[in-house]
Amino acid sequence: MERKKYECTALPKGWVREEIIRRTGLAAGKVDVCYYSPNGKKFKSKPQLSRYLGETLDLSTFDFRTGKVNNMLLRKNKKQRTQYDYSRGARSDSSLVPPIRQTASIFKQPVTVVKTQESRVKQDFKHGHQEKPKQLFWEKRLEGRRACDPSGIELSALELPKGVAGVGPGIAPDTVLQSVATALHLTSAPILGQSAPKNGLQTNPGAYLNPDQPLIHAITIGEDDIKLQEERVLEARQKLQEALKLYF
């Protein structure tokens, strides 16, 4: 076999093209072509060369056998991508005439574009952290689970106050309390409950539920409720004060 190496001017500087001419056997006279990168890596086919160069160089017009840029391949390429010929120092694009705007002759008079509203979909994704959607009825996964004291004994179940009713299919009192506790810890907004009417889910599958509010019906607090709560607070403070006197 006879080997000949040349510098490949169609590729970046440092690339070498090698021709291997077979002198004996049935394939006598056949020429095999391969390429060597500047760091000595060998490539025997154009797909290997394309995978190695990746996005840095477009080889759609590169002739692997001759090691030159073929303008005929450029015409057949549907995407019309440009191949840089390092031997000429310029692009091998056969036409440098800018394309004609075909829609320019449609309008007989100047056109003014009026936008009635702005789309903020793309801007929302570009700027700021996107809040994850909240899953409805996720507290149902905690049904049947209760807190335990340090000795491992489960605490007794809490009872719902009068006027507090759960919203949703099969919502147990424990689930309602877990939903209220979650809303108190995770949101700073006032707890108003759901605005959906009672039995709304059973009669209207499309009833709206606010994921930021607990799974309870809307509660109306009157003056009597406020006075009762104030009395409870005063009573609790008096008991605490008496306990502190006994302690100290």
pLDDT tens, residue by residue, 204-236: 666 777 888 888 888 777 888 889 989 999 999
**Nearest by Cα to 157 from 142, 169, 147, 166:** 147
Report if residue 247 sits inside a domain: no
Residue 185 lies in a domain: yes
CB 140 within 8 A of CB 176: no
Residues 77 and 145 both lie in one domain = no
Assigned domain for 103 exists: no
Cα 78 to Cα 13, 60, 174, distances in angstroms: 28, 10, 65
Q: What are the tokens at 50? A: 């394309």
Strand order in the sheet with 42-43: 2-7, 16-21, 31-36, 42-43
Q: Is 242 left (phi over 0), alpha (psi -120 to 50) or beta?
A: alpha
Looking at the DSSP assignment, which residues form a beta bridge with residue 17? 6, 35
Tell whether 8 and 85 lie within a shared domain: yes
What CATH number should be reported for the domain holding residue 79? 3.30.890.10
Say what the pLDDT of residue 241 is. Answer: 92
Domain range spanning residue 49?
2-91
Task: Judge if 82 and 143 occupy the same domain.
Answer: no
Mean pLDDT of the chain: 76
pTM for the model: 0.36
Judge if 75 and 145 occupy the same domain.
Answer: no
Domain annotation covers residue 196: yes
Number of C-alpha atoms within 13 angstroms, CB side, residue 216?
24
What confidence score (pLDDT) does residue 202 get?
61
Same domain, 87 and 144: no
Same domain assignment for residues 144 and 75: no
Residue 55, domain member (yes or no): yes
Question: How much is the pLDDT for 233?
Answer: 95
Residue that the structure tokens 């509203």 belong to: 117
Domain count, the chain: 2
First to last CA, the chain: 106
10-residue averages of pLDDT along the chain (248 residues): 85 89 82 90 89 80 84 57 51 53 57 65 55 76 79 79 77 84 84 72 69 82 88 94 86
Q: Is residue 110 part of a domain?
A: no
In a domain, 111, yes or no: no
pLDDT at 35: 92
pLDDT value for 142: 78
Residue 113 lies in a domain: no
Distance, CA of 55 to CA of 125 (rounded, Å): 27
Cα 223 to its chain centre, rounded Å, is: 49
